Chain A
Amino acid sequence: AQSVTQLDSHVSVSEGTPVLLRCNYSSSYSPSLFWYVQHPNKGLQLLLKYTSAATLVKGINGFEAEFKKSETSFHLTKPSAHMSDAAEYFCASGGGADGLTFGKGTHLIIQP
């Protein structure tokens, strides 16, 4: 069975400062891992995915994530936050016909 834990329900940063959104996973096998972003009243947009290639994954809009098997983590980072980054972020694990298992989400707030 897979599970995904997003360690922070809310994260608040100032514009121009780094962003760190934390995600731990539990899986009995080497998982595929994903980060999605959801802006208010919008659908889910894929930021990046890890599928057992390079452990440092670069995504859209300056986001990246590092897969650390020893820590079972897949944290999302961005060097400099922008106001448009304010949204809900979801970490997910899975692959195949079973679909994705999502974390409970992290609400990112950007302070001006």
Chain B
Amino acid sequence: DTAVSQTPKYLVTQMGNDKSIKCEQNLGHDTMYWYKQDSKKFLKIMFSYNNKELIINETVPNRFSPKSPDKAHLNLHINSLELGDSAVYFCASSQVLTRGYTFGSGTRLTVV
């Protein structure tokens, strides 16, 4: 069983489109995250979310929005896609008290 699963694995889309990436975890963790890995492989947190609080990295454009229908899911919606949004997006989850993080396998987004 995959602990943190993301879909799709690859996403190619045109500028200006709106797209979503789904993430599900079956670990019973209480917090989920989205990270962006740019073309230089630099990883930066975008959001963290538990049932009580959404923490947004202030550098993330408001075209990006996380949606959590329940504790096991944190989807990423992106509006009006731009070329600079091309990157690999990783979902992760953790149980905050144990500080153990598990990452999904990533979604490679290409905006053309």
Binding site for B on A (CB under 8 A): 32, 34, 36, 38, 42-44, 46, 49, 51, 88, 90, 92, 95-102, 104-105
Q: Collect the chain A residues with CB atoms within 8 Å of residue B101's CB.
A: 34, 46, 99-100
Indicate which residue in A49, A104, A105 contacts B99 across the interface (CB closer than 8 Å).
Answer: A49
Q: Are A100 and B45 in contact (CB-based, < 8 A)? A: yes
Q: Are B48 and A105 in contact (CB-based, < 8 A)? A: no
In the assembled complex, 10 residue pairs joining A and B whose CB atoms fall closer than 8 Å, in A order, are: A43-B104, A43-B106, A46-B102, A49-B99, A90-B43, A98-B48, A99-B92, A100-B45, A101-B45, A102-B44
Q: Are B103 and A43 in contact (CB-based, < 8 A)? A: yes
**Nearest chain B residue, comparing its CB with the CB of A31:** B99
- Alpha-carbon distance between A4 and B75 when the two chains are bound, in angstroms: 28
Q: Are B48 and A102 in contact (CB-based, < 8 A)? A: no
Whole-angstrom distance from the CB of A1 to the nearest CB of chain B?
13
Residues B29-51 near A (CB distance < 8 A) = 31, 33, 35, 40-45, 48, 50
- Alpha-carbon distance between A49 and B50 when the two chains are bound, in angstroms: 22
Q: A44-B90, A88-B41, A105-B42 are in contact. Are A99 and B48 (CB under 8 A)?
A: yes
Q: Are A97 and B31 in contact (CB-based, < 8 A)? A: yes
Q: Collect the chain A residues with CB atoms within 8 Å of residue B35's CB.
A: 99-100
